[in-house]
């Protein structure tokens, strides 16, 4: 009976398939590494917000012979941890700077949702930082907001770690396992002095920044914070006083960084009443048709005055000097050429081009383009086994450059106020979401130009790879039919120039390349 | 949006129709002929579904950036009687999806090839009617690398699936009742992005888990040698997954559930060459759902049945 056989085979096959197919999603495993170097002079590096590390002090630790320190060592010796606690140790062993940036990317993705139109009030509500959990939740973590959030996170971690390094080498108290050979740490322990704990510094600085950026997530952030601190005890890599000193230092420096954030102009970045004057000014410069929102109902533009927020690596004059020349005017031959390319895109788009558009879409619900480059940078800190301080420097340089890119790009967008392709020709339909702000220049291209320039400088071996990524990110917006070629090309060049200013900072901060 | 489950459901609807016609013929005692073996039936159908409201999680809403969503498909199917108790079937749809609001481009293409084996281990003719128990096992495989995470425009989820179903059938004097329950296992998929948010987590991988589905239906109908009419209720329930977040786009991880009600009618036209054509129409309406569009859908189709041996079908 061949049919009976076939039948059995099929049923058996189905059952096998049903049972064997693994639903779990594999993510890259993150190895724990020993840093490639300790940067012993890191305490002398130039800080970003702090005028100097003298702004904060860390009191001297208890002497090795003191009874209180001996009691701390004894408590490590007595410690037995559960498998669950070991998981926490392993999680944080990957790196505090890496993990807190990862948490920040997750929060960015979780909060990157635009407010829903209020049918009764007939307007889009604005998220309220005083009431962050109510709809619409605060913040709407759009690309400018995210760029700023990552920048402050990176700067706080960096400044706090520079100070931590200074005091580490000033007091030179080694890790518990180096002081007492009967203690075996389950984490890699180097000769880096352990007081104050760099992990506690990163945890405290990150916690304070992210509480300000995501005020509705305080409980979750506190839980991460506790876990991170505990992991250092459970891994027998720090004693309690290492952590307490680190916490105090991290919080003190975060407070100074937050003070800069409170006065950087972000509070005035959503000044919708400035929009009519912006449009008039753009028209006076030759704009024929101003951008209008493609959302239905029309949504006020995203943070129209974000371009006025305080930059990190260049000043107002330099920002204006870098501002790109105007794009091809509507109806000009150059404009028609760009538009014509998009008109044909629907028919000629290859699967590979669609892949590129999708890969770099970084739209609503994602961790945004700054998040995309934040991840790129974080992965390189791991690839090159950077210690916490150097990793924080990488993240701070890339982070500040991304925020600078956001500010300078928004300044450009609202200076020229040009319409998106779909607004000009409804035949140009997109394969990715069209962002709710003017077209010229492409934000993606500017972010990517800046971040790739900084990363290429910090990781010369990756320079070519970074340029390839940035070019792909830039052209992805053309494949997605939401930007003209001139938006992308000019944005990328603008981004490169913005990145150069972060390199200037890097060249003079005492850290070498 | 998650019109996909809806399409899937529609296809299941078509499948069920097809299965039942074919098996009914094979087991209809009144015509005096067991036609199952060597009988082949080829079907071409067109389906159209529309919705302008969808469930964002459990919240039913409209979205002007989407307007009215329209999904269309042309489906080719064949069923063949290996024996009177064992059928093999295949189907392949071409799908077009678009909406009249917003600025997204339409998506279209050949979707997934489905293959099924259907087996009837039990058939009992009693004084109170005829009872049948059936089981089907099927697989589906994407036929191209369409984009699965551009929902609701994506033409499918690009998951490979395997499914098993149990079917109970009862018939007396032309009136029949059919009920089925099934489980659809869906493989994880690869998307172009290597990072995405699902269930509050960010995943740093191309791989996305797609929820499995339990489906069930009940059909009550009447059939004779010329016509068939039936009403049905269908349900599809995801076994895991997250909700579309407020004002977010749908995503393949979403828990897509729906219940729909509908009806189907079919007429048979017999030809002198011993084959016959059937014309059928179906209408359905999603009545409850989660992370899916509230679709109204209709299908029209034509079906040609003949024996591969050239033997005439005499009804």
Asked whether residue B312 is domain-assigned, the answer is no
- Each residue's pLDDT tens digit, B204-247: 999 999 999 999 999 999 988 899 999 999 999 999 999 999 99
Specify the CATH number for the domain of residue A493: 1.10.606.20
CA distances from A211 to A104, A107, A153, A255 (A): 11, 11, 11, 12
Q: Is B249 helix (H, G, I), strand (E, B) or coil?
A: coil
Q: Is residue A63 part of a domain?
A: no
Do A204 and A339 belong together in one domain? no
CA distance B65 to chain A (A): 5
Q: Cα(A124)–Cα(A306) distance, rounded to whole angstroms?
A: 19
Pick from A262, A290, A315: which residue ends a domain?
A262
The CATH number that applies at residue B40 is 2.40.160.40
Last residue of a domain, one of A218, A235, A262: A262
Within a domain: B313: no
Inter-chain touch B195–A433, beta carbons under 8 Å: no
Q: Is B82 close to A3, i.e. CB distance below 8 A?
A: yes
Asked whether residue B219 is assigned to any structural domain, the reply reads: yes
Q: For position B32, what pLDDT does the model report?
A: 25
Number of structural domains chain A divides into: 2
Domain CATH for A206: 1.10.606.10
Q: Which of A3, A116, A361 sits opposite B247 (nearest CB)?
A: A116
Same domain, A228 and A163: yes
Residue where a domain stops, chosen among A262, A282, A315: A262
Mean pLDDT value across residues B148-169: 93
Phi, then psi, of A434 in degrees rounded to 5: -90, 120
Task: Give A373's contacts in chain B (Cβ within 8 Å).
Answer: none
Q: Say if B187 is an interface residue toward chain A (CB within 8 Å).
A: yes
For tokens 């005492």, the residue is: A510
> Is residue B314, in this structure, part of any structural domain at all?
no
Give pLDDT tens digits along chain A (513 positions): 445 545 554 555 555 555 555 678 888 889 999 999 999 999 999 999 999 999 999 999 999 999 999 999 999 999 999 999 999 999 999 999 999 999 999 999 999 999 999 999 999 999 999 999 999 999 999 999 999 999 999 999 999 999 999 999 999 999 999 999 999 999 889 999 999 999 999 999 999 999 999 999 999 999 999 999 999 999 999 999 999 999 999 999 999 999 999 999 999 999 999 999 999 999 999 999 999 999 999 999 999 999 999 999 999 999 999 999 999 999 999 999 999 999 988 778 999 999 999 999 999 999 999 999 999 999 999 999 999 999 999 999 999 999 999 999 999 999 999 999 999 999 999 989 899 999 999 999 999 999 999 999 999 999 999 999 999 999 999 999 999 999 999 999 999 999 999 999 999 999 997
Residues A420, A293: Cα–Cα separation, whole Å: 9
Contact residues for A90 (Cβ-Cβ < 8 A; gap 6+):
A32
Backbone angles phi, psi at A396, to 5 degrees: -70, -40
Q: Cβ contact (<8 Å) for B163 and A26?
A: no
On whether residue A12 sits in a domain, the answer given is: no
In a domain, A255, yes or no: yes
What pLDDT score does B225 carry? 86
Interface touch B202/A351, C-beta < 8 Å: no
Residues of A with Cβ-Cβ distance to B64 under 8 angstroms = 296-297
Report how many domains make up chain B: 1
**Which two three-digit tokens encode residue A436?**
């709710």
In the structure, what pLDDT confidence band is assigned to residue B27 with cuts at 50, 70 and 90?
A: very low
Residue A294 and residue A382 in one domain: yes
Tokens 């899937």 belong to residue: B8
pTM listed for this prediction? 0.92
Question: How distant, in Å, are the alpha carbons of A338, A492, B274 from that of A342?
Answer: 7, 19, 55
Q: Quick check: is A287 in a domain? A: yes
Which band of pLDDT confidence, cut at 50, 70 and 90, is reported for residue B311? confident
Q: Which residue in the set B64, B162, B207 is minimally distant from A17, CB to CB?
A: B162
Identify the residue among A1, A5, A7 best suited for mutation to test binding to B, counting B beta carbons within 10 A and taking the highest: A7
Distance between CA atoms of residues A224 and A107, nearest Å: 13
Is A1 domain-assigned? Answer: no
Within a domain: residue B284?
Answer: yes
Residue of A nearest to B104 (CA): A430
Q: Is residue A22 part of a domain?
A: no
Answer whether residue A3 is part of any domain: no
Q: A426 contacts in B (CB within 8 Å)?
A: 103
Q: Do B162 and A110 touch (CB under 8 A)?
A: no
Give me the DSSP letters along A66-90: SHHHHHHHHHHHH----HHHHHHHH
Q: What number of other Cβ atoms are within 10 A of residue A329's Cβ?
A: 13
Cβ-in-10-Å burial (0-12, 13-18, 19+) of A90 comes to middle
Structural domain containing residue A438: 271-507
Is the separation of the CB atoms in B298 and B281 below 8 Å? yes
Is A7 part of a structural domain of the chain? no
Domain range enclosing B280: 3-307
SS3 A298: coil
> How many Å apart are CA B151 and CA B66, to the nearest integer?
11
Q: Is residue B315 part of a domain?
A: no
Is residue A326 domain-shared with residue A214, that is, in the same domain? no
Report yes or no on B211 lying in a domain: yes
Is there a single domain that holds both residue A203 and residue A303? no
Q: Is residue B19 part of a domain?
A: yes
Same domain membership, residue A281 and residue A239: no
Query: Across the interface, do B208 and A25 touch by the CB < 8 Å criterion?
Result: yes
Prediction ipTM score: 0.91
Q: At what angle do helices A240-262 and A143-171 cross, to 10 degrees?
A: 140
Work out whether strand B112-126 and strand B129-142 pair parallel, antiparallel, or are unpaired: antiparallel
Can you read off the two tokens belonging to residue B79?
A: 């069923």
């Amino acid at each position: 009976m061949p049919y009976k056989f076939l039948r059995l085979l099929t049923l058996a096959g189905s059952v096998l398939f049903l049972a064997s197919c693994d639903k779990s999603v594999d993510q890259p495993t993150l190895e724990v590494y020993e840093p490639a170097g300790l940067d012993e002079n890191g305490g002398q590096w130039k800080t970003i917000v702090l005028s100097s590390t003298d702004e904060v002090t860390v009191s001297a630790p208890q002497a090795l012979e003191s009874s209180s320190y001996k009691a701390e060592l004894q408590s490590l010796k007595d410690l037995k941890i559960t498998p669950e606690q070991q998981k926490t140790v392993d999680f944080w062993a990957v790196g505090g700077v890496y993990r807190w940036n990862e948490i920040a990317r997750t929060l960015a993705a979780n909060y990157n949702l635009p407010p829903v139109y209020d049918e009764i009030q007939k307007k889009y509500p604005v998220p309220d930082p005083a009431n962050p959990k109510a709809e619409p939740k605060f913040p709407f973590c759009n690309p400018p907001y995210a760029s700023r959030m990552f920048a402050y996170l990176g700067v706080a971690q960096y400044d706090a770690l520079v100070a931590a390094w200074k005091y580490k080498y000033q007091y030179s108290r080694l890790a518990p396992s180096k002081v007492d050979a009967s203690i075996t740490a389950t984490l890699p322990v180097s000769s880096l002095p352990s007081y104050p704990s760099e992990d506690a510094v990163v945890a405290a600085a990150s916690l304070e920044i992210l509480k300000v950026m995501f005020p509705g997530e305080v409980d979750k952030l506190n839980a991460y914070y506790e876990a991170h601190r505990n992991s250092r005890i459970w891994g027998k890599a720090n004693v309690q006083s290492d952590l307490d000193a680190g916490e105090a230092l991290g919080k003190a420096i975060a407070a100074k960084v937050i003070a800069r954030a409170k006065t950087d102009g972000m509070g005035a970045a959503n000044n919708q009443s400035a929009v009519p004057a912006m449009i008039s000014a753009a028209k006076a410069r030759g704009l024929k048709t101003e951008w209008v929102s493609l959302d239905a109902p029309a949504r006020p533009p995203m943070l129209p005055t974000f371009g006025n927020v305080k930059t990190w690596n260049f000043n107002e004059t330099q920002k204006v000097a870098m501002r790109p020349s105007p794009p091809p005017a509507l109806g000009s031959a150059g404009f028609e050429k760009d538009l014509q390319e998009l008109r044909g895109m629907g028919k000629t788009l290859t699967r590979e081009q669609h892949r590129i558009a999708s890969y770099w879409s970084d739209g609503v619900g994602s961790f945004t383009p700054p998040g995309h480059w934040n991840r790129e940078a974080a992965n390189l800190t791991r690839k090159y086994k950077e210690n916490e301080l150097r990793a924080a420097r990488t993240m701070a340089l890339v982070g500040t450059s991304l925020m600078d890119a956001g500010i300078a790009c928004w300044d450009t967008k609202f200076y020229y106020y040009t319409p998106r392709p779909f607004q000009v020709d409804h035949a140009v339909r997109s394969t990715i979401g069209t962002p709710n702000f003017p077209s010229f220049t492409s934000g993606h291209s500017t972010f990517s130009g800046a971040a790739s320039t900084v990363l290429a400088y910090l990781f010369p071996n990756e320079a070519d790879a970074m340029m390839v990524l940035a070019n792909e990110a830039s052209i992805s917006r053309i494949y997605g039919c939401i930007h003209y070629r001139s938006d992308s090309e000019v944005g990328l060049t603008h981004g490169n120039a913005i990145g150069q200013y972060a390199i200037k900072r890097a060249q003079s901060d005492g850290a070498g390349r | 949006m998650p019109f996909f489950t809806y399409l899937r459901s529609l296809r299941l609807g078509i499948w069920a129709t097809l299965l039942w016609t074919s098996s009914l013929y094979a087991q209809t005692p009144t015509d005096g002929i067991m036609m199952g073996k060597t009988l082949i039936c080829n079907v071409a159908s067109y389906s159209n579904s529309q919705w302008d409201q969808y469930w964002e999680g459990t919240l039913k809403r409209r979205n002007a950036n989407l307007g009215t969503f329209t999904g269309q498909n042309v489906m080719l199917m064949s069923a063949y009687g290996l024996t009177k108790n064992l059928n093999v079937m295949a189907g392949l749809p071409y799908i077009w999806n678009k909406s009249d609001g917003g600025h997204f481009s339409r998506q279209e293409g050949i979707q997934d090839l489905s293959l099924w084996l259907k087996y009837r281990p039990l058939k009992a003719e009693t004084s109170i009617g005829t009872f049948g128990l059936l089981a089907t096992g099927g697989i589906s495989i994407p036929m191209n690398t369409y984009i699965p995470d551009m929902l609701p425009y994506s033409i499918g989820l690009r998951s490979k699936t395997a499914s098993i179903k149990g079917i109970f059938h009862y018939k007396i004097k032309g009136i029949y009742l059919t009920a089925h329950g099934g489980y659809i296992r869906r493989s994880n998929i690869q998307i172009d992005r290597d990072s995405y948010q699902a269930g509050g987590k960010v995943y740093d991988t191309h791989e996305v888990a797609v929820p499995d589905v339990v489906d069930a239906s009940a059909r009550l109908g009447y059939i004779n040698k010329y016509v068939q009419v039936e009403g049905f209720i269908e349900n599809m329930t995801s076994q895991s997954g997250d909700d579309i977040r407020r004002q977010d786009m749908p995503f393949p991880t979403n828990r897509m559930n729906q219940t729909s009600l509908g009806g189907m009618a079919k007429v048979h036209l017999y030809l002198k060459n011993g084959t016959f054509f059937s014309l059928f129409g179906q209408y359905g309406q999603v009545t409850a759902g989660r992370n899916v569009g509230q679709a109204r859908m209709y299908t029209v189709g034509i079906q040609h049945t003949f024996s591969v041996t050239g033997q005439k079908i005499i009804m």
